[in-house]
Chains A and B, each alone.
Chain A
């Protein structure tokens, strides 16, 4: 019985949200916030594999997201829509509904292959040098995309909205919302299964002591390869979803700043805590979106009490001052993040009565 609570709950949430957005009880803005939450959950949990469970300091997650976003978008645009660059649709647009998850997986696979770019150097290099390799890989991926003119180069790539329209034409359901939720739950499930399996315990062993792990017959190179590929592959899926939510992607939106966002989410939640990553991704998205309203509100308030000169206006830029400041404070007072390396059921042991999540 306890085994079924979490799936039932998730199914219910998915059903309710999809139904409500189909009936337009919740507007497009809230829908997009929910979708970004999902994407952020995928990003932070998948980044947690490398940074939390394996204990490496990688900081180029957005690069893999870019690979996934571009591959999925290009494949979808090529297959299902008539495009100026890629010519007529290769498949009838009605098939988009059925093939969309597969194109997402193709994007994920491409990102996983790109992950090898980082995984192979990680066999020999350690901490700070590996950090550099991941940053360099991020830069390399971005500037490769900028240099491919066929997919728009620095101008960005669009046309994904047509794919979505093709999907809703077949069956009128908010498909992208549904897929974001399914892939989010799938990601969390896969990662949970992976890190609690005997095989996946190898990456935790690498974090504790790489040499000792190797002596205990953990194939460290193989574990690193798998961990990096899984992490970057899931990031690629997140990228594909992200591209279809926005309908427009630009290589510069996958730069170091996006990678920093991923880092923030992982460390906010706690290294090596899956529920921490999920919670921090949700909180982070909510914080980002609420600052959109809080900052103008603060602006009026501070003008009202004459704290600010009339010529100066609090702008949205302050968002990126406030968020790093929050993280700095967090590092000072609770450096292990919200959850540390504990899971939700460790913090509230009574919850164990109600669910088991394996």
Chain B
């Protein structure tokens, strides 16, 4: 009994890490721009596909490299290319709207549509056949008593924690992090202070998208079947996790992701698996009803 609980906790940690990694991207962009980047889940999907293409390209080369070396090349390349996708979305779709000072809602709709374009464009270009990700790392199973743990799961959890610490450091300790916070505080005063607002925003998108790419790679390693709609559901869920944590707050996104992972795994452990979404979302909705701005969110004050 105890063993199965702990086993489930491990699984929850793994899923929580995926949700956290994506939720961090949502929250970063939201924290700076107050924009729900609905395309983020699909950037995660694009990341997984980019990782797939790079991995197969490297494996297809004449020299046969050991798996870890391939992985060491795939990770930075995936992150860079995914960041490129995220930044070009910002450049093409969001920035012109921002320049025009369009209503926030229009940018959100644009983001939603960009997500659809990415999803269905992928489906249309690559076809509906699912891609299976090559196995880059040998699965090592560590067994302690009844518990088993794979090196992949440990890697996923550790990278989520590392990313969190890294982002927390950037946002709270560095100058560019300070600029990011400044933009979210007052978008109009920041350019007057001589802070290049566009650079900071591009930097934010680079951070968010590259970690979405990392999440996509890790997801593809753990569940090696890729399909174009894989990002949609996980993206929506991660977004909900970010909001429950209090969107705009790094700690909130991190904890919200893990909370969602725990709730989902625990629900599946007790109820039939079809109830997962139902109960998980019901719990999250209750949390939002009790604390409308999420766990770490600060209630905005309205001036009259």
Taking Cβ atoms with an 8 Å cutoff, the residues of A that contact B are: 57, 120-121, 124-126, 128-129, 131-133, 135-137, 139-140, 142-144, 146-147, 153-154, 211-212, 256, 260, 263-264, 267, 314-315, 317-318, 320-321, 323-325, 327-328, 331-332, 335
Contacts and interface: CB of A to CB of B under 8 A. Distances in A.
B117 A211 contact: no
A210 B40 CA distance: 31
Top 10 A-B pairs ranked by shortest CB distance? A324-B113, A320-B120, A143-B278, A324-B116, A317-B124, A125-B292, A143-B277, A335-B106, A136-B281, A132-B243
B240 A135 contact: yes
13 contacts: A121-B289, A126-B292, A132-B239, A132-B288, A133-B289, A140-B281, A140-B282, A143-B278, A144-B278, A323-B116, A324-B120, A328-B114, A331-B113
Contacts, number: 122
Contacts of A327: 109-110, 113
Contacts of A136: 240, 281, 284-285, 288
Interface string B75-114: 0000000000000000001001100101101111110111
A320 B123 CA distance: 10
The CB with the most chain B CB atoms within 10 A, among A133, A142, A264, A331, is that of A331
B274 A324 contact: no
B39 to A, nearest CB: 10
The CB with the most chain B CB atoms within 10 A, among A135, A267, A324, is that of A324
Interface in B168-184: none
A346 B248 CA distance: 41
B72 interface: no
B38 to A, nearest CB: 9
Nearest to A212: B304
A267 B120 contact: no
Contacts of B121: 321
Contacts of A140: 277-278, 281-282, 285
A331 B289 contact: no
Nearest to B112: A260
Nearest to A51: B105
Contacts of A126: 292, 300
A121 B109 contact: no
B209 to A, nearest CB: 18
B211 to A, nearest CB: 21
B247 A256 contact: no
B232 interface: yes
Nearest to B104: A127
Contacts of A323: 116
A323 B121 CA distance: 11
A184 to B, nearest CB: 25
B114 A324 contact: yes
Interface of B: 30, 36, 93, 96-97, 100, 102-103, 105-110, 112-114, 116-117, 119-121, 123-124, 232, 236, 239-240, 243, 247, 274-278, 281-282, 284-285, 288-289, 292-294, 300, 302, 304
A310 B291 CA distance: 57
Contacts of B288: 121, 125, 129, 132-133, 136
Contact of B93 (A212, A321, A328): A328
A211 B120 contact: no
A146 B113 CA distance: 27
A332 B120 contact: no
A133 B109 contact: no
Nearest to A57: B105
Contacts of B112: 260, 263
B243 A331 contact: no
A153 B275 CA distance: 12
A321 B117 contact: yes
A258 to B, nearest CB: 13
A335 B285 contact: no
The CB with the most chain B CB atoms within 10 A, among A128, A135, A212, A263, is that of A128
Contacts of A124: 289, 292
Nearest to A140: B281
Contacts of B117: 321, 324-325, 328
A211 B102 CA distance: 24
Contacts of B113: 264, 324-325, 327-328, 331
A143 B274 contact: yes
A303 to B, nearest CB: 16
B201 to A, nearest CB: 18
A103 B108 CA distance: 37
Contacts of A318: 120, 124
B274 A139 contact: no
Contacts of B281: 136, 139-140, 143
Contacts of B278: 139-140, 143-144, 147
Contact of A137 (B100, B276, B285): B285
A263 B109 contact: yes
A276 to B, nearest CB: 15
A12 to B, nearest CB: 37
A144 B279 CA distance: 9
B285 A121 contact: yes
Contacts of A211: 302, 304
A124 B117 CA distance: 34
Contacts of A135: 236, 239-240
A320 to B, nearest CB: 4
A154 B285 CA distance: 23
Contacts of A264: 113
Contacts of B103: 335
Contacts of B294: 129
